[in-house]
A and B are shown apart, each in its own frame.
Chain A
Amino acid sequence: MREIAKLVLVLGLICGISAGSLATVRTRLADRIEQQNDLFVRGPALELLLQQPANDILGHKLTIDTPEGSMVVFYSQESGTVCGLAIETIGKGGYGGDIAVMLGVNMESNKLLGLEIIKHQETPGIGSQIEKSAFRNQWLGLPAHGPIQLTNEGGTIDGISGATYSTKAVIQGSQKALSAYMNSKDQISDLIQQSDAADQTQLDS
């Protein structure tokens, strides 16, 4: 009995200390990792989606609350009016975990500007084909009221054969972004106005 207690105690202690040190490192590096993500992953994706320099758009960052949790939204402006939005969501159910996608929406024409994959851990060569432009371009120009579906479910997206989970996760993520956009259009406009007003006062003072 005493032996078992010792085993449990030692293993428990090792796990506890490990968890503690991981948490410390994570909190120390979280900001820096986020910065690097903005610079190397989100930045290029935003440039492609919204056709503006990444530095301009990265400053235009909002967080909206939706029934499915909070989402990060970037927006681009042209001569004062908002023209493009990029909504980042997590698609659940990928083969190697969750897939972070970014969906571009044109607010004026209500059409999609495209889809970018931000982060995934799919099998190289199979699920990772979701990164290919031939697959992602299928989102281009779709109407923003959705729904986004596979062809065999009555939609317009051709899935990748052999990568059903990956395809479905991407579709689920982009569908989530779309419904968030349709449901919180007003909230997004309000937030953009607010942050613009804040920018203005900062400039004035």
Chain B
Amino acid sequence: MSRFLSVLLHGFWKDLPPFRLVLGLCPALAVTASANNGLGMGMSVTFVLIFSNLVISLLRNVIPNKVRIASYIVIIATLVVIVEMILQAYFFGLSQQLGIYIPLIVVNCIILGRAEAFASRNTPFLSAVDGLSIGLGFTMSLTVVGSIREMLGAGTWFGMSLASAEFEPFAFMIKAPGAFICLGLLLGLMNAFSHWRGENVIQK
């Protein structure tokens, strides 16, 4: 039971992607110009992660070691294309905005990383829980980064206008360099917080 809880919760702080794992930085930087995009990207990754972990864990004794990476990629790519079609069918606007970054989930290191590090060694149930935990952590981070960038860069949050008319949006934040600075500052704050608490998880 304690194992279940630790697997369920590790994605929210201990292994929080992309800050703690420092994987999956490309989508975290590229699509977080608005909170909505961050949330959509996070949900897509969560879906892929849960099912890829589940399927890979079910097949972990069947897949020969030598072709495991190839098999993982085929499974992940299939799930990503399914997500892409679902987005096109039901969330067309979002799929237009995320564009090329949806197919690129295939090469998102988080997914392959979890398959290799967790799903290939654990039971299907625990692997799915791990996917859920890491996926929700990723969604949370992307939504936070997206919110900060959208609020500062456009004066809105999820498209709702927040600021008064005098507020001059800090347009730099919704451009690419703003993503690096926002992510870097958040990572720095998190590390400072961990350091202050005496946790031993600071990235060297």
Contacts and interface: CB of A to CB of B under 8 A. Distances in A.
Interface stretch (B7-15, B60-68, B111-119, B188-196): B60-68
A40 B92 contact: yes
Interface string A1-15: 001001100110011
Contact of B78 (A10, A21, A124): A21
A18 B64 contact: no
Given A18-B75, A21-B78, A11 B89 contact: no
B81 A11 contact: no
A82 B78 CA distance: 45
B88 A36 contact: yes
Contact of A33 (B63, B77, B89, B93): B89
A40 B93 contact: yes
Given A33-B88, A40-B92, A40-B93, A10 B82 contact: no
Interface stretch (A24-32, A100-108, A167-175, A188-196): A24-32
Contacts of B63: 10, 14
Nearest to A24: B82
A14 B86 contact: no
Contacts of B82: 21-22, 25
Interface string B87-125: 011101100100110000000000000000000000000
A11 B77 CA distance: 14
B74 interface: yes
A15 to B, nearest CB: 6
Contacts of B81: 22
B156 interface: no
Contacts of A63: none
A26 B85 contact: yes
Interface residues of A, number: 22
Contact of A18 (B78, B85, B88): B78
A121 interface: yes
A11 B71 contact: yes
Nearest to B59: A14
A6 B85 contact: no
Interface in A89-120: 96
B179 to A, nearest CB: 14
B70 interface: yes
Given A14-B74, A21-B78, A40-B92, A7 B86 contact: no
Interface in B27-81: 59, 62-64, 66-67, 70-71, 74-75, 77-78, 81
A7 B93 contact: no
Interface in A12-64: 14-15, 18, 21-22, 25-26, 29, 32-33, 36-37, 39-40
Nearest to A11: B67
B70 to A, nearest CB: 6
B85 A33 contact: yes
A10 B89 contact: no
Interface in B143-184: none
Contact of A11 (B70, B92, B93, B100): B70
Contacts of A15: 74
B88 A10 contact: no
Interface of A: 3, 6-7, 10-11, 14-15, 18, 21-22, 25-26, 29, 32-33, 36-37, 39-40, 96, 121, 124
11 contacts: A11-B70, A14-B59, A18-B74, A18-B75, A22-B82, A25-B86, A29-B85, A29-B86, A29-B89, A33-B88, A39-B92
Given A7-B66, A10-B63, A18-B78, 5 more contacts: A7-B64, A10-B71, A25-B86, A32-B89, A32-B90
